[in-house]
Amino acid sequence: MDHLQTEARNPASAGLDELSAYQFVRLMAAEDGRVAPAVESQAAAIARVVEVTAERMRAGGRLVYIGAGTSGRLGVLDASECPPTFNAPPGLVVGVIAGGPTALTKAVEGAEDHPETGAAALAAINLSANDVVVGIATSGRTPYVLGAVEHARRLGAFTVGLSCNPDSELIPKVDLAITPVVGPEVLSGSTRLKSGTATKLVLNMISTGAMVRLGKTFGNLMVDLRATNEKLRYRTNRIVREATGLDRDAADELLKRCNGELKTALVAQLAGVEPDLARKRLIDASGRVRAAVGMNGTNGHHKAHEELVLGFDGGGTRTVALLAVRNGAGWKVLGRGEAGPSNRQAVGTPAALAALEAAADAAFASSGRPRKPVRAAVLGLAGAGRPEDREVIHGWAAKAHLAPAVDVIEDAALLLAAGTPDGWGVAVVAGTGSMAYARAADGRTARSGGWGYLLGDEGSGYAVALAGLRAAARAADGRGPGTVLTDKLLAAFGLERPEELVGVVYRGCDRPALAALAPLVLDAADACPVAAEIASAAAAELASAAAAAAQKLGYGRSFPVALAGGLFESRADYCARFLTALADRGLTPEPVAVVREPAEGAVRLALALRATA
């Protein structure tokens, strides 16, 4: 176990027994602050589990948590809270712990050491292929859990492994892994701390997300309840009032007409239909109030002639899907969905496809429509430049019945579709990474940059932040001039000495987290020569990339430019530095647009694809 991060000693707490109570609490708070980003990094995988769980529950399956010790207790806790919170039937969410109920309050020695015991525990609850099994093991190596997921997988259940160590033994034994890496605990090996917190957050998301997908909420209101006592009758009336704007007496009268059925009352009032039709709409909408309210006509379906399209923008940080429909000479967005990263090169194929699936589901859900194939879809994805990459996405789209007409293109191409008059010009991205992409009117393309953080990404948020950190390190050594960046960066991390940056940067920050520090560097540029030099040099690198891409296509001095990425979207001063750097090269971009929703470019391309399909 020596190689496990969760068992390692945390340098930040090496003097734990020498700290004052206040210092101890600050240390714990700082370490706990690492948990949420670690969980968020697994958003795509968690979203996929939510979707699969909801699908299997609709088909009669269950969500089963199984673990030992703290992991098992957290699973049992989450399962036990689902009936009172969501009116879920007993047994829909099941918690199994090594050692049985006794282990909830008292350690049962050796209960976790036998894989066959985990398999037997699942057999005892009559596990079936319809179920979802989440094996919870912080270490990723607990024999009880490994045996359980292997048994579940043999039966055909969908298996999930939740651990807090990378490259754990659990990962290859499950269909999908969730791995929030929180690092060593303040108290070495005490995984009830950060690891336990991460586990609880993930389980909250899985169970709550599945229940939301099953239609047990309307907005953030719990609407799947039966008014069986005075307290619940009051709560039901309050929910009707909050959702519809009716007063107390009118809400009571509505509930009486609907036999006390909260969902029926909401649909009847909000859609302006009689209770019987409201009930039918709820059946057609799989119990989802918003979808039932949004249905047109009396047959419970949206307009049959609607020709929908989907546009995707997927990168290394997030994935956005827009569901749209042609509206006269233009078009309008009906729903927007967002999920985790879908760059296969960065997060791997399973997580990337899970993010695309989740984004599509979310776009339909926000539109109030049940998911179905659309007429055309265009996916602009980072890391999809090679034919073999595009084949993988086409394969997923076919399996998911996404659309009869599907196109997969580089994400940068979306910027030109969204931000230039005729879809040609130069697109420049400055987000976590950076690159320039050019397209000529005749379809020829060229690019510059985009080599990734080890070989390039000059001018990106990551590069700007890293330059600021390096400047602070040089200043601390006396190798470089003093800079206000030192104090600003220390304050951002809650540190007191520059030497403490080493532990934070190398053990606690991924690239997006570091890139988020770039605005801090740019904020200091007006008052600090060091920061000003970093900002100007970064903008000059982006201008160089744009000029190189334009030159490859034989552009003259003027051409359209579309800008995108977090730095351009949020920093007018950085845009100005970039345009100045272009002018220094004798170039005058015209027009210039900042693209804040690249997926709109995918929608435009999908509408064109629809017209030719």
Amino acid at 316: G
Kindly provide the b/e burial profile for residues 259-272, where b requires at least 16 CB atoms within 10 angstroms of the residue's own CB.
Answer: eebbbbbbbbbbbe
Q: Is residue 230 annotated as part of the catalytic site, yes or no?
A: no
User: Which token pair is 577?
Assistant: 């530095």
In DSSP terms, which residues pair with 378 in a beta bridge? 311, 407
Q: Out of 112, 338, 458, 597, pick the active-site residue.
A: 112
Q: Out of 81, 150, 306, 500, pick the active-site residue.
A: 81
Kindly provide the b/e burial profile for residues 141-174, where b requires at least 16 CB atoms within 10 angstroms of the residue's own CB.
Answer: ebbbbbbbbbbbbebebbbbbbbbbeebbbbebb
Q: Is residue 31 annotated as part of the catalytic site, yes or no?
A: no
In DSSP terms, which residues pair with 311 in a beta bridge? 322, 378
CA 12 distance to own-chain centroid: 29
What's the Cα-to-Cα distance from 442 to each of 34, 36, 591, rounded to whole Å? 49, 47, 19
What's the Cα-to-Cα distance from 301 to each of 282, 285, 307, 369, 375, rounded to whole Å? 11, 9, 14, 9, 17
For residue 407, give the 3-state DSSP assignment: strand
User: Which token pair is 486?
Assistant: 């030192």
Q: What SS3 string covers 267-303? A: HHHHHCCCHHHHHHHHHHCCCCHHHHHHCCCCCCCCC
Helix boundaries (H) for 368-525: 387-399, 411-419, 461-477, 485-493, 501-508, 511-515, 518-523
| Nearest-5° Cα angle at 249, 247 to 250 | 65
What lies within 8 Å, CB to CB, of 165 at 6+ separation is 4, 5, 6, 138, 139, 140, 179, 181
What's the Cα-to-Cα distance from 246 to each of 232, 240, 253, 271, rounded to whole Å? 18, 7, 10, 14
In this structure, the strands spanning 308-314 and 319-327 are antiparallel
In DSSP terms, which residues pair with 185 in a beta bridge? none
In DSSP terms, which residues pair with 323 in a beta bridge? 310, 335
- Tell me which residues are annotated as active site: 81, 112
